[in-house]
Amino acid sequence: MRLRLRGNKRGQFIVIAALLIAIMIISAGAVLFSAVTYFKHERWEEYLIVVDGVEAGTSNVLELSLANYTQTFNSSVLESNLNNWGGDVKKAYSGFGAILSHSLASGLYTAYGMNLSYTFGLARTWNQRISFSAANATASLNITSVGLTGYSFTSTVFLKMNIADALWYETKKTGQVTEGYVGVRVVIDMEGLTPVTGLQKSNFILFQVGGVNQTFSLNRYYDSRDHDDGDYPALNKFVYELRYFYSGQQTPTGVNVVIGVKDSRNIKVTGQATNLSVIEA
């Protein structure tokens, strides 16, 4: 039997095949090992954190620059701040070789269903029924330590105020005197046409009716109810209602209002509506 086993040469091909497979597995493993070892030492998470941090910081620069512009009308503030920001990113992330460059929006853009005319990345249209302030810049980030080049992102900051309408709440009618409240309603959106919902009375820095500053109370709600006995459909939007007292011989039919608002980012918009129709609440 031993002789037969020793002399049996059939089936050696299986051993050779298994050897080949084993060699292939070891070779593939060696390649994988070298790849994993190489990439393991890269600080991927840190790079992602740097990219996210720079992107968030750039957005913050746009916000504070737009806030500055809407309050000081310094049209070069965004360019100046982004130039500084590029240098400061380099210093703050010096170990990574972060280099940030930027380009400012210029000329006519169409966004949010509106025409935005940018100069040095800034745009504003005020004293209209639909008024807005906007900033727009595109930045490009290189992280030379890891060979990342040309990571590009666009930051936009936007605040829009739409003076929608005015509601009439009659409280008393005696003889020729009519008393009640007029509620001027505004819709305020930010970038992405996201409704701005957290404003307080102090955020409305200007409220004039007929050219005169008015004291008012502020109501906030989502308008889903029809008005004027159903003739005036609901706005189906989050609205701010600035309500002031009215007393006169007739029910008001149209009002001239100027409203200034400053959001939590300190970005300001001033809107104006002439002969704004007043409808029954």
Partner 1 sequence: MALMFDRRGQMRVIEAIMASLLVVFAVAFIDLFAVTPVTPKYESSELEKVGFNVLRDLDEERLLARFVGNAEWVNFTAALAAALPSDVYFNLTVYDLTGRVVNNQPISYGARGVFADSDYVASVTYVVPGYQLVYRPRVLVLQLVRS
Residues that bind partner 1 (CB under 8 A): 1, 4-5, 8, 10-12, 14-15, 17-19, 21-23, 25-26, 29-30, 33, 36-37, 40, 45-46, 49-50, 52-54, 56-57, 60-61, 64-65, 67-68, 71-72, 80-81, 84-85, 88-89, 91-93, 264-266
* Nearest approach, Cβ of residue 6 and partner 1 (Å): 10
Q: Find the shortest distance in angstroms from Cβ 89 to partner 1.
A: 7
The smaller minimum CB distance to partner 1, of residues 237 and 265, is found at 265
Q: Please enumerate in sequence order all residues whose Cβ is within 8 A of that of 98, keeping only pairs 6 or more positions apart, or say none.
A: 50, 54, 89, 90, 92, 141, 142, 143, 144
Cα distances from 28 to residues 12, 15, 24, 33, 40, in angstroms, run 24, 20, 6, 8, 18
Which of residues 52 and 179 has its CB atom nearest to partner 1 in the complex? 52
Residue 197 phi, psi (nearest 5): -115, -10
Q: Is the Cβ of residue 47 or residue 168 nearer to partner 1 in the bound state?
A: 47
Q: How far is the CB of 226 from partner 1 (least distance, A)?
A: 36
Minimum distance from residue 23 beta carbon to partner 1 (Å): 8
Task: Name the residue nearer to partner 1 (CB basis): 19 or 234.
Answer: 19
Q: Which is nearer to partner 1, 53 or 252 (CB)?
A: 53
DSSP characters for 175-203? TTEEEEEEEEEEEEEEGGGEEP----GGG
153 CB neighbour count, 10 Å cutoff? 14
- DSSP classification of residue 8: -
We find the least distance from the C-beta atom of residue 71 to partner 1, in angstroms, to be 6
Measured between alpha carbons, how far is 175 from 182 in angstroms, rounded to an integer?
A: 20
